Amino acid sequence: PKDLVHSDYKFKIILIGDAAVGKTSFLLRFTENKFTEDHLATIGVDFQSKCLSFGKKIIKLQIWDTAGQERFRSITRSYYKNSHGCLAIYDISDESSFEKIKELIEYYKEESEARLPFNVILIGNKSDLDLDRHVPTLKGKMLAEEYGIPFFETSVKNDQNVDEAFMAVAGEAIKST
């Protein structure tokens, strides 16, 4: 029973990004260390939790994934509600997912100005597809600089930088407590 585990902080972290950028894969790599090439339509629950230690503190991350609603632009306010941080994910092999991420960050920013901390980590996923790259690393870096937020290129497939991204979002969330 996970709830018996003591934690010093509990944070709600949400995943945003276009369909097929790898959000569900990102979550499953982090929580279960799994990867599959299949399209993962939904994991069937709203969120999954995982604890990590940060210095001497235990942080429980409750990570929320969309169940495919991003295809229909029908993500509700309750998804954003009370979140402490956000991973904004695009696919380096899909230019339109990069174009779309700006809009999604803007929307999160509007929501945050009302009641949430603006804690966003920009993620360019699928860095293993470098031969099919359509978004230069520099473009990601520049967008992150514009917002003053951290930036990582990740590969869920090769397990690169996934834990680092979650550590970064947790670290920023602690700063705002």
Footprint on this chain of Mg ion (rule: CB under 5 A): 23-24
Angle at 46 between CA 40 and CA 48, to 5 degrees: 85
If the CB atoms of residues 134 and 157 are measured against ligand GDP, the closer one turns out to be: 157
Contact track, ligand GDP, 109-148, x by CB under 6 A: ----------------xx-xx-------------------
With CB under 5 to 8 Å by kind, the binding choice for 22 among ligand GDP, Mg ion, none is ligand GDP
Please state the closest distance from residue 29 (CB atom) to Mg ion, in A. 13
Give the residue among 125, 129, 133 at the shortest CA–CA distance from 156.
125
If the CB atoms of residues 61 and 89 are measured against ligand GDP, the closer one turns out to be: 89
With CB under 5 to 8 Å by kind, the binding choice for 20 among Mg ion, ligand GDP, none is ligand GDP
Q: For 1-66, where are the alpha helices, taking DSSP H only? A: 23-32
Name every residue whose Cβ is closer than 8 Å to that of residue 146 and which is 6 or more positions away in sequence.
Answer: none
| Interface region with ligand GDP, contact rule CB under 6 A, candidates 1-9, 37-45, 116-124, 144-152 | 37-45
If the CB atoms of residues 11 and 90 are measured against ligand GDP, the closer one turns out to be: 90
If the CB atoms of residues 60 and 126 are measured against ligand GDP, the closer one turns out to be: 126
Name every residue whose Cβ is closer than 8 Å to that of residue 12 and which is 6 or more positions away in sequence.
Answer: 47, 62, 64, 82, 83, 84, 85
Q: Are 14 and 79 in contact (CB under 8 A)?
A: yes
Residue that the structure tokens 């295809």 belong to: 71
Residues in the chain, how many?
177
| Contact residues for ligand GDP, defined by CB under 6 A | 17, 19-25, 36-40, 125-126, 128-129, 155-157
